[in-house]
Each structure stands twice: as C-alpha cells, then as structure tokens.
Amino acid sequence: MGRREIFIAILGLFIGGIVLVILLSPRVTEWMPQTKFPSAWEPITVTFSRPISIDKPEEIMTLSPAVEGEFSVSGKQLIFQPLEPFISGQTYAVTLGENLKGRNGLPVLGGKEWSFTVGDPRLIYLREEDETTNLWLQEEGEERQLTQEVGGIWDYHAAPNGQGIIYSALDDDGTIDLIQLTFDERRMELLDCKDSRCTAGRWQPDGNLLAFERQRLGDTQEQSEVWLLNIEGGELSPAHDPDLLAESGFDSLTSHSARWSADGRYLSYFKPDARVLIVIDFAGNAMQLIPANLEIMGDWSPMAYKLAYTELTFGQQSNHEHEDELGDVITHANTNLYSHLVLTDIEEGKSVDLSQDKEVDDGAPAWHPDGSSIATGRTFTGSGRQMWILTLGDGESRALTDDPFNHHTSPAWSPDGNKLAFMQVESAEVGGSPDIWILDVDEGEMALAAKNAFMPNWWP
C-alpha cells in the first residue's frame, strides 16, 4: 500500500472517529424552565440525548444570581433542586459547565446557556360549592378548582419546600384518607384509613415521615392521636415513644396539632389530657414537656428552634358592685383572661410573652419566611379581630388592618414575604360567608382575592 492509500486510510479512521465521538457524545435535547418559572421551588431540569454522570457538582451548572441547591441525575436527566426559594420577579441566568460528561466518558457537546423569570406564588384556598368543599387555586388573577373530591376535603397543608399538597379526603363510609397532590397536580393516595379519620397531615422537612391525626371511627375528636407514616416503607406508628411516655406518667396516646421544626429534627404536638406541649427530638431520642393551657398550636420559626403558640394569661382584676336584698353592697372581683402569644426557645428552655402583658387576645401565629416577625389576628375589646405584625428584634407591633366590623384571621405569608393572605368575615354576622384578602405589606394596599373562600395558603 502506497503512502497515498495509507494517508487516506488514516484520515478516514480519524474522520470516522470524530463522527463516532459526535454520535456517541451526549447533547442537550430539552431544558426547563425555558422562559418563565411558575414556582419558587420548582427544580431546573436538563435532558440529554444520552445518560450522564456527575464528578464535580460545583462545576455542573452555575446560576446568576446564585441559589443554594442540590444536583442529582436520573438517567438522561440532570436535576437541580433548590434548597431556598427562587425570588418572584427575579430573572436567573443558567450556564452548563464545560466539564459535564456522559456516562460513557465523552464530553457533552454544544453547552447551553439560557435564562428564566420567576412568576408570582399561587394562592390556594378551600371553597364550598353544592355542599362539597374542594381546593382551589388562583394564578395571574384567574382561579380554577384544583381537586375534584366527591366527598369533599376536610383540611390541607402546602409543604413550604415544594413537596406538594397533602389533604384529607372524606369517604362515603365516614373515613377520611390522606392524599398527596404532587407539584404537577397528580393525585396520589398516601394512606387509606380503613377504620379511621386521618387528618392534619404534615410533611417532615427533608425527611421521610408524615405526621397526622388519627381518630378511630366511634371515637370523639378529643380522642385523636398523632401518628407517623413512613412514606417509603408504608409503616405506621404512634408519634409517642411508649417508654418515654411511661417515664413521664402518661398512659394514653391522646394528642393533636403536630408541627415539624424547619429542618425536621423536632416534632411538637399538644397532649390535651395532660395540658402539656410535647416536643420530640428525633436526633437525640429525647422528649421535652412544656406546660400549655390553651390548645391553639402555632408553628416553628423557619430559622431557629423556636416554637410560637398561644397561652391563656391572667390580666388585671376588675371589680363589680351590686346591692343584695338587704341593701348591702356586694363587691365581686373578676380576673380577666387573655390568649397571648408565647415564644419558647427549645434548646435554651426559655419562654417569652410576645404579647407583652397587654390586655389583648392574639390568635394563631404565622411566621414571616425570614423568621423576623409574626403575623396574628388581635383584638382588644371584643370587636373585630385585626391583623397585626409583631417584630421579634425590637418587640414592636403594629396593626395591618383597621376595620372593627370584620374579623381577620388565618394569616399566611407568601414565600417571598411580600404579601399576607388572610380570611375576613363580618364580626356581627353569625355564619357569615368568609372572603380572602391579600395585603401588600410594603405598599399597605389590600385587595379582595377570593369570595366565599377560607383557609388561604400559598403553593410556592
């Protein structure tokens, strides 16, 4: 074979090798989101023509502005799951790293750069129509029914980290099942409660447990118990450790209102027959008991191991005089009672009265996403309950609404902390129809969001 033939053969092998590399190298075929991001917690996904592998996660993808998150690979798909919410209205630029390789060791060809803008969080709420309650969603001013439960919904909870919504669906046999509505709005049955009513489900953040209230058919609501469901294995167990309960002198499982700390380490709930708030430490298998005389649970700070809840507090004495049949003046001393917000630091064991000894009634608290303040419904004289915000750093408080003819309750912060949704109902009307309003806290502007609706929340 002459030089010319050898050269042509080598060139052919070289070109063939290049073509083979091009054919075998993975390339980007799809990426989401492309232009608009509907959620503060939706993952970024990039699909390739071939399976890929991760060697150095920090070199895979960059975001500007930066967002903390975790990478994972599922076959041909690269997934970035944010560990903090994307900011509404913010535009993010995405760049794939140059060192991304396929599982066959060949580099990804073509790279990829794009940007997307995060949309506003979506308001969700319950509404009753034709004597059946279902979940509704409002997005960009338009509302639509989100669930189609024939028996209706008892309650629901939207997970703050994008896990979806868990709700309690009523069956015609009187039982209540636990259902998950996934981020892409698929209905998944989590637990078929064959002989019970299962309600008030709460996800364990970054964990595999679901806390819920279980009430067996025939039992009263006061006999409910907090149970745990292992999502992966399906195992059921009481939330209480029997040995720890026995050491504390408790012989019943009666409990309600389970709440997880922001990282899923602690689980708190009320034990009404003992008038205590129980806090379980899953890291240390320990249990704390906090005296609590009013069974209205609050929630954990999103930034610390601090738990806010309501407590019955004694106020000033007031004297009342009247004459008896003999004309003698009789004086009665009445002690006023108020519901105050209490904040307990679980690790330090210290509690503080957030209502600051004022003669006010404060309702269930709603933490601002940055943990700096709490919104609550407050009343002074029995007139309409107003929305107030309590700032933790300086102890200041201010009213957000001023409408004595209406009660304002059930506050819920948007994920970015810019808006506060709450329920409004006429204070003088018994059984009045509730509406949902949204307050832009910075601008001070309030707008009607949904009529004949209740239990507002946000689906981030």
Condensed to tens digits (0 to 9), the pLDDT of residues 295-307 reads: 777 899 988 899 9
Q: Contact, 166 vs 180, CB < 8 A?
A: yes
The pLDDT score that the predictor gives to residue 245 is 74
Of the pLDDT bands very low, low, confident and very high (cuts 50, 70, 90), residue 1 is: low
φ, ψ of residue 330 in degrees (nearest 5): -110, 130
pLDDT-derived band at 425, boundaries 50, 70, 90: very high
Q: What is the mean pLDDT of the chain?
A: 83
pLDDT of residue 23: 46
3-state secondary structure the chain: CCHHHHHHHHHHHHHHHHHHHHHHCCEEEEEECCCEECCCCCCEEEEECCCEECCCHHHCEEEECCCCEEEEEECCEEEEEECCCCCCCCEEEEEECCCCEECCCCECECCCEEEEEECCCEEEEEEEECCEEEEEEEECCEEEECCCCCCCEEEEEECCCCCCEEEEEECCCCCEEEEEECCCCCEEEEECCCCEEEEEEEECCCCCEEEEEEEECCCCHHHCEEEEEECCCCCEEECCCHHHHHHCCCCCCECEEEEECCCCCEEEEEECCCCEEEEEECCCCEEEEEECCCCCEEEECCCCCEEEEEEEEEEEEEEEEEECCCCCEEEEEEEEEEEEEEEEECCCCEEEECCCCCCCEECCCEECCCCCEEEEEEECCCCCCEEEEEECCCCCEEECCCCCCEEEEEEEECCCCCEEEEEEEECCCCCCCCEEEEEECCCCEEEEEECCCEEEEEEC
Would you tell me how many other CB atoms lie within 10 Å of the CB of residue 343? 20
| Lowest mean pLDDT, pick from 290-299, 308-317, 409-418 | 308-317
Instruction: State the pLDDT at residue 162.
Output: 61
- pLDDT for 207 beyond 80: no
User: Residue 424 has what pLDDT?
Assistant: 95
Provide the pLDDT for residue 49. 78
Q: What's the pLDDT score for residue 343?
A: 93
* pLDDT score, position 104: 59
Q: Which of 3-12, 239-248, 307-316 has the lowest mean pLDDT?
A: 3-12
Q: What is the residue type of 142?
A: E
Q: How many residues does the chain have?
A: 460
Question: Is 21's pLDDT higher than 60?
Answer: no
> How high is the pLDDT of residue 345?
94
Where residue 20 falls among pLDDT bands split at 50, 70, 90?
Answer: very low
Structure-model confidence comparison of residues 346 and 15, the more confident one: 346
Residues 6+ apart with CB under 8 A from 281: 265, 266, 287, 288
Cα separation of 260 and 282, whole Å?
11
pLDDT exceeds cutoff 50 at 19: no
Q: What is the pLDDT of residues 146-190, one digit of tens each?
A: 999 999 999 999 986 667 899 999 999 999 999 999 877 899 999
The C-alpha atoms of residue 164 and residue 180 are separated, in whole angstroms, by: 7
Over residues 99-158, the pLDDT tens digits come to 666 665 566 665 678 888 887 778 999 999 999 999 999 987 889 999 999 999 999 999
The whole model's pTM is what?
0.77
pLDDT one-digit tens code per residue, 38-84? 567 778 888 887 777 766 656 678 889 998 888 887 777 888 888 78
Q: How high is the pLDDT of residue 303?
A: 85
Mean pLDDT, rounded, for 398-425:
91
Q: Say yes or no to pLDDT of 243 above 80.
A: no
Q: Is 281 exposed, middle or buried (0-12, 13-18, 19+ CB in 10 A)?
A: middle
Bigger pLDDT: 316 vs 451: 451
Burial (Cβ within 10 Å: 0-12, 13-18, ≥19) of residue 387:
buried
In terms of average pLDDT, the best of 237-251, 313-327, 349-363 is 349-363
CATH number of 25-118: 2.60.40.1220
Stronger pLDDT, 327 or 205, i.e. the higher one = 205
pLDDT digits (tens, 9 = 90+) for 277-288: 999 998 877 888
Say what the pLDDT of residue 151 is: 96
Cross-sheet strand order for the sheet of 276-281: 256-260, 266-271, 276-281, 286-291
pLDDT at residue 400 above 90? Answer: yes
Q: Which of 118-127, 197-206, 247-256, 371-380 has the lowest mean pLDDT?
A: 247-256
Q: Is the confidence at residue 397, as pLDDT, over 80?
A: yes
